[in-house]
A = this chain, B = another copy of it.
């Protein structure tokens, strides 16, 4: 069994935004030399997500508005008890639970085994500082 691990770092200028990281993950899979196996991609921070969906800017705006409705940004300690710790990112911990921490993708014949529109995104909910994504490929 082969295994290969890399860490990607993203500094997203906005508080909330989505970055298509498919090209970087594809490169990691290539470097792994794995032909058949699984590829785990996960946010290493708990106010960020990795998810798979469409690379369509209108949809991304829809997601942002929807997440803001489900868990609005509000730095006050009455809106989120978490903000009593001095943090202002209580909302980000909630948004991340909706969008998920990780994806596991099949690697088949040396490639990410994707449907026609699948793209991997890093979802940032408390940006403006460097944060890491782990990519691990195992297989043969």
Which chain A residues have a beta carbon within 8 Å of chain B's beta carbons? 1, 3, 5, 36-38, 40, 42-46, 51-54, 56, 58-59, 61-63, 66, 70-71, 80-85, 90, 93-94, 96-106, 108, 113-118, 132, 134, 136, 138-140
Contacts and interface: CB of A to CB of B under 8 A. Distances in A.
A98 B67 CA distance: 11
Nearest to A70: B70
Nearest to A55: B46
Contact of A80 (B1, B38, B62, B108): B62
Contacts of A93: 53-54, 59, 62-63
A72 to B, nearest CB: 11
Given A37-B138, A46-B117, 20 more contacts: A1-B139, A1-B140, A3-B36, A3-B37, A3-B140, A5-B36, A40-B104, A42-B105, A44-B114, A44-B115, A46-B115, A58-B85, A59-B80, A59-B93, A62-B81, A62-B93, A63-B97, A97-B98, A97-B99, A97-B100
